[in-house]
Amino acid sequence: MSILFTTAKTQDELIQILSLQEMNLKSSVTATEKEKEGFVTVQHSLDVLTRMNGACPHIIAKDGDKVVGYALSMTHDFKDEISVLRPMFTEIENVNIQNFITMGQICVAKTHRKMGIFRGLYNAMKKASYPKYDAIITEVDATNSRSLGAHYAVGFEKVCTYHSLDQDWELISLKTS
């Protein structure tokens, strides 16, 4: 199996991202899966996902024609598009981080986990972002230990923890250079 890391270019790829997202939403996975495999929080519309991709293309992992992983790119222009992410952008402004791209969500298909795809998505995102952006910023639900561990393993560093929407979030940063 040969995994290709590239940017999303077609509507079919965006639809596959949404399908993979749907299968891994916090509301779609069991409590055991949440603990062992992690989950995603935000559900995007095709319209928002398409506009985000137009501003800064999403990074995808493909196995043949199938999208098996994605890292969504989100510029500051979309801070008011997804209400659950507004507090993250407020927190970024509070800690005064400059020249960054936000990774809006990352997910790997259950069939393709533990194959280096998570790391590959971030390596591709770093290459695509540098030198335009100095850092990739994201937040992770503080209870999502699987995701936090994976992010720290690829080099993310904790910026701060904050409370929003009745839960704690860890704001984390990865240098692109």
pLDDT of residue 79: 87
Across all residues in the chain, what is the average pLDDT?
92
Q: What is the distance of C-alpha 149 from the center of its chain?
A: 14
Q: At what angle do helices 46-55 and 11-23 cross, to 10 degrees?
A: 120
All structural domains of the chain, each given as residue ranges with its CATH number in brackets, are: 3-175 (3.40.630.30)
Q: At residue 161, does pLDDT exceed 80?
A: yes
| Gap between the Cα atoms of 118 and 115, Å rounded | 8
Closest CA to 16 of 6, 2, 27, 1: 6
| pLDDT tens-place string over residues 17-73 | 999 999 988 888 888 887 788 788 889 999 999 999 999 999 999 999 999 999 999
DSSP 115-133: SSHHHHHHHHHHHHHTTT-
Taking the model in full, what pTM does it have? 0.92
